[in-house]
């Protein structure tokens, strides 16, 4: 086995990232955006990223986290693509919130994605706010934050940036690309455009295009942000302001879509919050109201408002079939990638019929595909929560594929 530390390529700079001590873990979101505690690589202006909007972005930075050890032939790497409001901190505590990594149930020693066996890489997406270049980053042309001068990006642009990172790490072919929700969209883009660079693709709770309903939900959130006077036409950072109320409302509206009616009823019902009687006011009488307000207030401390606008717009623009003359199957024609598509019965944000469309397209080109619909009452967020059947599904698929490739149990580093 070899060390995960890889020398930077010529012309690029890579930031070392020793695990910070507990005393310095808690940082502001702005501090983390400007100088991430995770590893990062900056690609120079001479190697810009050509974006779907026709503009070029350079220099640009990709911040990322890893877990596990890369083996000698670099065949055990798994790329983890995160969802809309997640980040690269899937494994260790977030330096902003101090909370544990967001997929510790799935990834770690002896878990479905076994870090004693695999090397997991999770980049913060392009347009994000945890160290990768986004609206909060400094625009080299002006010396100030990009703000709304940041170019509009797509899911495919995010994947292009991830491809640059994988090149930088010297990995020719990934064992797997996995992700849920927006992460699943990235998985599909990887399979469509870089299928020769991955053995397995695991898109979870996702769709091949964003529905009109989901575009509508995102537009409500964006309008809430932009209607906040503190947004200041996107220039709030220049004026040391934060559109807290607007971003909190956007988060509250979005969070409802991540849950199910059954989950909300089981957790809250019509229970009152810290009181025995209704106040006949507009205070948070109900527990569910208090819960949503808490979700909104904590979100604004860890996420950038303009990043939220850009990332939701990238999801709205996502339409993989449209990228292939309106025929989704064309995106996967000739693929040798093995697929495992997963959906959840109570997910009404990306319902099972959306996953079936992906499976049907894969079947149309005789791709190697497995499909599992998991019984769950936890809604869209089920992929982030404890779901034993889901864990077993992912573990079984990965173990089968690894066995075919001869990837055995991890051995001590040499």
Is pLDDT of 128 > 70? yes
pLDDT, residue 258, reads: 95
Give the pLDDT confidence of 268-307 residue by residue, as tens digits.
889 888 888 888 888 888 889 998 999 999 999 999 999 9
- Would residue 87 show up in a list of annotated catalytic residues for this protein? no
Give the pLDDT confidence of 347-374 residue by residue, as tens digits.
999 999 999 999 999 999 999 999 999 9
- Would residue 9 show up in a list of annotated catalytic residues for this protein? no
Give the pLDDT confidence of 311-351 residue by residue, as tens digits.
999 999 999 999 999 999 999 999 999 999 999 999 999 99
pLDDT, residue 409, reads: 62
Between these two residues, 3 and 46, which has the higher pLDDT value? Answer: 46
CA angle 192, 123, 311 (to 5 degrees): 75
pLDDT, residue 385, reads: 95
Instruction: Annotate 23-65 with DSSP letters as a single string.
Output: GG----HHHHHHS-SS-EEEE-TTSPEEPTTS-EE-SEEEEEE
Distance of CA 189 to the CA centre of its chain: 13
Distances (CA, A) of 30 to 121, 304, 307: 23, 8, 12
C-alpha to C-alpha distance for 191 and 209, rounded to whole angstroms: 15
| Residue-range domains of the chain with CATH | 13-214+313-405 (3.40.50.1820), 215-312 (1.10.1740.110)
How confident is the model over 85-109, as a mean pLDDT? 96
Handedness of CA 392, 370, 330, 402 (dihedral sign): positive
- Would residue 380 show up in a list of annotated catalytic residues for this protein? yes
Residue 91, classed as helix, strand or coil, is coil
C-alpha to C-alpha distance for 65 and 327, rounded to whole angstroms: 35
Q: Which residue of the set 145, 285, 380, 381 is catalytic?
A: 380
pLDDT, residue 243, reads: 97
Between these two residues, 1 and 227, which has the higher pLDDT value? Answer: 227
Is pLDDT of 113 > 60? yes
Type and span of the H or E element at 158: helix 155-168
pLDDT, residue 2, reads: 30
Q: Which residue of the set 14, 94, 137, 181 is catalytic?
A: 181
CB 265, CB 206: distance < 8 Å: no
- Give me 287's structure tokens: 């527990």
The percent of residues above 90 in pLDDT, for the chain, comes to 84
Q: Which residue of the set 114, 228, 316, 347 is catalytic?
A: 347
Among 206, 35, 232, 239, smallest CA distance to 129 is for 35
CA angle 159, 198, 63 (to 5 degrees): 40
pLDDT, residue 371, reads: 98
Give the pLDDT confidence of 180-221 residue by residue, as tens digits.
999 999 999 999 999 999 999 999 999 999 999 999 999 999
pLDDT, residue 354, reads: 98
C-alpha to C-alpha distance for 128 and 135, rounded to whole angstroms: 8
Q: Which residue has the tokens 């660079």?
A: 197
Judged by phi (left if over 0) then psi (alpha if -120 to 50, else beta), residue 344 lies in beta
How confident is the model over 56-77, as a mean pLDDT? 97
Q: What mean pLDDT value characterizes the chain?
A: 92
Residue 67, classed as helix, strand or coil, is strand
Give the predicted TM-score (pTM) of the model: 0.92
Is pLDDT of 64 > 90? yes
Handedness of CA 30, 33, 39, 43 (dihedral sign): negative
CB 315, CB 206: distance < 8 Å: no
pLDDT, residue 104, reads: 96
How confident is the model over 164-175, as a mean pLDDT? 98
Which own/partner contact pairs does 23-31 have at CB distance under 8 Å and 24+ positions apart?
25/93, 25/95, 25/98, 26/95, 26/96, 26/98, 27/95, 27/96, 28/96, 28/301, 29/96, 29/129, 29/130, 29/301, 29/302, 29/303, 29/304, 30/136, 30/237, 30/304
C-alpha to C-alpha distance for 414 and 409, rounded to whole angstroms: 15
Is pLDDT of 7 > 80? no
Is pLDDT of 414 > 70? no
Is pLDDT of 38 > 60? yes
How confident is the model over 68-83, as a mean pLDDT? 97
Does 59 sit behind a cis peptide bond, omega within 30 degrees of 0 on the bond before it? yes
pLDDT, residue 59, reads: 98
Give the total residue count for the chain. 414
Identify the bridge partners of residue 344 per DSSP, sorted by sequence position: 374
- Report the number of secondary-structure helices (H) and strands (E) in the chain: 10, 15
């Amino acid at each position: 086995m070899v060390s995960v530390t890889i020398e930077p390529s010529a012309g690029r700079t890579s930031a070392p990232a020793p695990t910070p001590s507990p005393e310095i873990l808690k940082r502001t979101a702005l501090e983390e955006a400007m100088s991430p505690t995770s590893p990062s690589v900056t690609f120079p202006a001479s190697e810009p990223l050509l974006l779907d909007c026709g503009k070029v972005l350079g220099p640009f930075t990709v911040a990322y986290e890893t877990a596990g050890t890369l083996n000698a032939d670099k065949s055990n790497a798994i790329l983890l693509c995160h969802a809309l409001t997640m980040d690269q901190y899937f494994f260790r505590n977030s330096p902003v919130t101090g909370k544990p990594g967001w997929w510790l149930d799935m990834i770690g020693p002896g878990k479905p994605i076994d870090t004693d066996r695999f090397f997991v890489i999770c980049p913060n997406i392009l347009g994000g706010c945890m160290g990768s270049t986004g609206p909060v980053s400094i625009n080299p042309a002006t010396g100030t934050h990009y703000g709304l001068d940041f170019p509009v990006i797509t899911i495919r642009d995010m994947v292009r940036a991830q491809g640059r990172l994988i090149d930088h790490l010297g990995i020719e072919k990934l064992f797997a690309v996995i992700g849920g929700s927006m992460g699943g969209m990235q998985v599909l883009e990887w399979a469509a455009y870089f299928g020769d660079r991955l053995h397995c693709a695991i898109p979870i709770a996702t769709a091949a295009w964003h529905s009109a309903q989901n575009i509508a939900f995102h537009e409500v959130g964006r309008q809430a942000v932009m209607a906040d006077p503190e947004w200041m036409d996107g220039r709030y950072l220049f004026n040391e302001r934060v559109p807290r109320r607007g971003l909190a409302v956007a988060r509250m509206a979005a969070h409802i879509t991540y849950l199910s009616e059954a989950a909300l009823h089981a957790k809250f019902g019509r229970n009152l919050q810290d009181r025995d009687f209704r106040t006949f006011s507009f205070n948070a009488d109900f527990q569910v109201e208090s819960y949503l307000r808490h979700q909104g207030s904590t979100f604004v401390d860890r996420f950038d408002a303009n990043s939220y606008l850009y990332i939701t717009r990238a999801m709205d623009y996502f339409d993989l079939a449209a990228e292939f003359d309106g025929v989704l199957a064309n995106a996967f024609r000739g693929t040798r990638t093995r697929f495992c598509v997963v959906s959840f019965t109570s997910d009404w944000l990306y319902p099972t019929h959306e996953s079936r469309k992906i499976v049907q397209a894969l079947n149309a080109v005789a791709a190697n595909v497995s499909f599992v619909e998991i019984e769950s009452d936890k809604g869209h967020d089920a992929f982030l929560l404890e779901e034993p059947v889901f864990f077993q599904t992912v573990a079984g698929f990965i173990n089968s594929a690894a066995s075919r490739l001869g990837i055995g149990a991890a051995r001590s580093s040499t």
